[in-house]
Structure 1
Amino acid sequence: MASQFFVSSDVVFGKDSVKELPKMLKEYNAKKVMVVYDAGVKMAGISEKVLDEIKKADVEVTIFDGVIPNPTNEVVEEAAAIAKEKDIDVFVAVGGGSSIDLTKAVNILMTNEGTIGQYGGMNMVKNPVLPLIAIPTTAGTSSEITNVVALTDTVNVCKYVIIDNKIVADKVIADPEFTKTMPVSVTAATGMDAITHAVESYISNMATPLTEYHSLKALQIFYEYLPKAVADGSDMEAREKMMLGCLIAGFGFSNANLGLVHGIAHTLSAHFHLAHGMANATVLPYVMEYNADSCPEKMVELAKAINLPVSGNLEEDKYLLSKELLKLTKELGIKTLSEQGITEADFEMLAEDVLKEPVLGFNPKQNVTKEDVIAILKKAF
């Protein structure tokens, strides 16, 4: 059976790769550049390094540093208004998933009319967008190479995604040095987000041999190097491997899609502003336990990929991965739902909203019920 595998970005990887930025801007004949980042990137001194390189390209620079976690439609519209007023012709996004997603969303509105909310769903973007250079500073979301934007709709209180091959960043500058200043908690949460991408895309009902290869390889890298990156943020081998793993995982999940973990995480983030990686990590082990019945062989393959001791008894072995992920989240200090301020009184409302999440369509176990979701939330509590 034929299957499609889409990869688009031109990636420059490694130390000092940011030095390629002036050349890239000249290639695009850039005149007016918008640089997008958040306060954390500024505090870490990363934005300064990027802006120093941009100066060499002799362009007019507009800075938008109002990025917030789980970016909202309102922030997108605000940044887009500035970009249109300044007649921006190239974007440079610096940061984690929030900065890159926001920039991809703003870019849609530069060449497509209306409001950003109307582009939710798959393949809704009509016109090609402007050049975008993504410079990730976290190893987690893979937003720099995916065709996905995740945004928060504050009116309907939900997170939604825009999926379209037109919106992928044209060029990616992946410099592991830029992840060195990430706080331990962010390293852990974004790393668990990356593990979620690898695992969920592997068991997705849209997975193909090409996506499965990337998902497995990424999981092996994360499993070995995430604990090292959390233990010592200056371990540059671990930082480099995590960033490499994120690129590989992104190739997999942007083609295979994700599942119930993301459905729950989107809902938690929309209602309680939980950081996306943390929301994923909190429920990941329990969703994998829940999904094990529907794809036991794949669960065993994932366990084998990270050298867990397989007994040969499928009924037992299918739970090896979920148990190991639970152990890992505890080791990395991932908080429970109760530690993040969620109460059991919220479960009913959360579960009802989770069932509306489109990503459930890609989950290996179908016909998820409200009771199923509440049971998972109780375990993660």
Structure 2
Amino acid sequence: MSYNFFVKSDIEFGRGAAEKLPEVIKANGIKNVMVIYDQGVKAAGISEKVLDQVKKADVNVTVFDKVLPNPSNELVEEAAVIAKEANVDGFVAVGGGSSIDLAKAVNVLMTNPGKIGEYGGMNMVKNPVHPLIAIPTTAGTSSEITNVVALIDTEKVIKYVIIDNKLTPSHVIADPEFTKTMPASVTAATGMDAITHAVESYISNMATPMTEYNSLKGLNILYNNIRTAVHNGSDMDAREQMMLGCVITGFGFSNANLGLVHGIAHTLSAHFGLAHGMANATVLPYVMEFNAESCPEKMVELAKDIDLPLTGNMDEDKYALANALKDLTKDLGIKTLSEQGIQEKDFDMLAEDVLKEPVLGFNPRQNITKEQVIEILKKAF
């Protein structure tokens, strides 16, 4: 049996990596670059540092700094108009998943006709896109190395994805120095997002030996460093390890896909604007508890990967990971659904929409019912 494992990005990793940006821009022959980031990146002084490096490449610079969490179709279209007017032929995306996803989506519209909503699904992008240099400022989404864009369709009130290998950034500059300004709450939420990617991709029914290797290695690095990164944000060794774990995990999940945790998180973000990482973290332990029935051996392997104590009894050990994740989310201050403003009266509507999520097709436990989703939401409440 054969399987495909796709890796594209040219990665410059480590402290001081940002100094390579002018060289990368020149190597790609970019003349008119759009730099995309949000106001948080600007307030942290990161955008100024990146723009200083961009200017060394002697290019025309257009800035789009209106990125919002969970970017919408409308925001993509707005940025695309500006990019086309400036004849942009390359992008530098600075920030978390929202900034990088927005840049990916705008890049699609530079060389492909129509509206961005027309490209939802898999392999819908027909024409090659421009060079995109991704500079992550969080260690969580892995958007810098994946072939996925997640957007909000405000008319349909859904969070949908575009999956196409053409979307993967051509270059990544992963400099952990840019993560040290993240507050503890963001470090926790984005770090738990990465852990979710590792766990869900490992148990995905699309997993292969190559994706499983990356998922396990990524989880080990992330789990053993997230507490230090959250509780002592000045520890740059822990910050660097979190970024490394995020990249490694990204190789796994971009090939194996994800599951029910992301199905629930997408729905929570679409209806209530919950930050993606926080939404994942809130429900992760309870989805893993639910999935344990379908993949007990893999649950035990995940537990062994992070050296959890086991009894040798499969019926007990298959829940070891879920229980450890409950302790971890509590230790990191991850908010419950009620603390994030979700009400029990919303559960029925949310559960119905969760069942429409395509990502559920990759979940190890199938034939999920609305009642089962509601039970998970109640546990996370």
Alignment of 1:240-255 (within 5 A): 240-255=240-255
Look up the SS of the partner of 1:181 in the other structure: coil
Q: Distance in 1 between matches of 2:212 and 2:166?
A: 24
Tell me the residue number matched to 1:154.
Answer: 154
In structure 2, the partner of 1:263 is 263
Specify the alignment match of 1:337 in structure 2. 337
- Distance of 2:31 and 2:12 partners within structure 1: 22
Aligned twin of 2:314:
314
**What's the CA shift string for 1:76-128, capped at 9, x where partnerless?**
00000000011001100000000000000000000000000010000000000
Query: What secondary structure, in the 3-state scheme, does the structure 2 residue paired with 1:230 have?
Result: helix
User: In structure 2, how many angstroms separate the alpha carbons of the residues matched to 1:347 and 1:26?
Assistant: 51
The letter of the residue matching 1:77 is E
Partner of 1:42: 42
What is the rounded CA distance, in whole Å, between the counterparts of 1:28 and 1:192 in structure 2?
34
Q: Distance in 2 between matches of 1:85 and 1:113?
A: 15
Give runs of aligned pairs for residues 186-201 of structure 1, distance below 5 A. Answer: 186-201=186-201
Residue equivalent to 2:376: 376
Structure 1 CA distance for aligned equivalents of residues 37 and 291 of structure 2 = 37
Q: Which residue of the partner structure matches residue 367 of structure 2?
A: 367
Counterpart amino acid of residue 108 in structure 1: V
2:95 pairs with 1:95: yes
Partner of 1:106: 106
- Match of residue 275 from structure 2: 275
Distance 1:310 1:16 in 2: 41
SS at match of 2:92: strand
Q: CA deviation at 1:29?
A: 1.8
Q: Partners of 2:12 and 2:27 in 1: how far apart?
A: 15
The answer to whether the aligner puts 1:287 opposite 2:287 as a matched pair is yes
The 2-side partners of 1:187 and 1:30 are apart by: 33
1:80 aligns with 2:80: yes
Counterparts of 2:362 and 2:203 in 1: how far apart (Å)?
9
Helix, strand or coil at the partner of 2:194: helix
Cα distance between partner residues in 2 of 1:61 and 1:300: 51
Q: What secondary structure is seen at the aligned counterpart in 1 of 2:293?
A: helix
Separation in 2, partners of 1:124, 1:29: 27
Paired AA for residue 166 in structure 1: K
* Counterpart code for 1:200: E
* Displacement of 1:309: 1.0
Aligned residue pair count: 381
For the residues of structure 1 that align with 2:51 and 2:343, how far apart are their CA atoms? 44
- Structure 1 distance, partners of 2:40, 2:96, is 10
Instruction: Spell out, residue by residue over 1:239-284, the C-alpha distance to the aligned partner (whole angstroms, 9 max, x if none).
Output: 0000000000000000000000000000000000000000000000
Helix, strand or coil: the match of 2:118? helix
Q: Deviations over 1:300-326 (max 9, x none)?
A: 000000111111110000000000000
Q: Distance in 1 between matches of 2:308 and 2:14?
A: 31
Distance 2:49 2:380 in 1: 40
Identity %: 76
Aligned match of 1:301: 301
Q: Does 1:346 align with 2:337?
A: no
Give the counterpart letter for 2:177 in structure 1. Answer: E
Distance, in Å, in 2 between the alignment partners of 1:303 and 1:25 is 42
Structure 1 length-normalised TM: 1.00
Q: Which residue matches 1:170?
A: 170
Whole-angstrom distance in 1 between the partners of 2:292 and 2:22: 49
Report the Cα offset of residue 188 of structure 1.
0.2
State the secondary structure of the residue aligned to 1:69. coil
State the alpha-carbon separation in 1 of the partners of residues 163 and 57 from structure 2: 32
Letter in 1 for 2:375: A
Instruction: Tell whether 2:255 aligns with 1:232.
Output: no
Query: Alpha-carbon deviations, 1:196-226, whole Å to 9, x = none?
Result: 0000000000000000000001111111100
Q: Does 1:136 align with 2:158?
A: no
Residues 51-99 of structure 1 show CA distances to partners (whole Å, capped at 9, x for unaligned) of: 0011111111000000000000000000000000110011000000000
Q: Which amino acid aligns with 2:60?
A: E
Q: CA deviation at 1:150?
A: 0.3
Structure 2: distance between partners of 1:308 and 1:18: 37
Deviation, 1:25, is: 1.1
Task: Output the CA distance in 1 between the equivalents of 2:357 and 2:161.
Answer: 10
What SS class does the counterpart of residue 271 from structure 1 fall into?
A: helix
The one-letter amino acid of 2:319's match is Y
The whole-number CA distance in structure 1 between the counterparts of 2:341 and 2:14 is: 39
Aligned residue for 1:133, secondary structure, equals: strand
Following TM superposition, by how much is the alpha carbon of 1:24 offset from its aligned partner in structure 2, in angstroms?
A: 1.0
Task: List structure 1 segments (4+ residues) > 3 angstroms apart after TM superposition.
Answer: none
Distance 2:380 2:155 in 1: 27
Q: Which runs of 5+ in 2 are unaligned?
A: none
Distance of 1:113 and 1:176 partners within structure 2: 37
Matched residue, 2:324: 324
Paired with 1:221 and 1:332, the residues of 2 have a C-alpha distance of: 17
Partner of residue 53, structure 2: 53
CA distance in 1, matches of 2:160, 2:305: 32
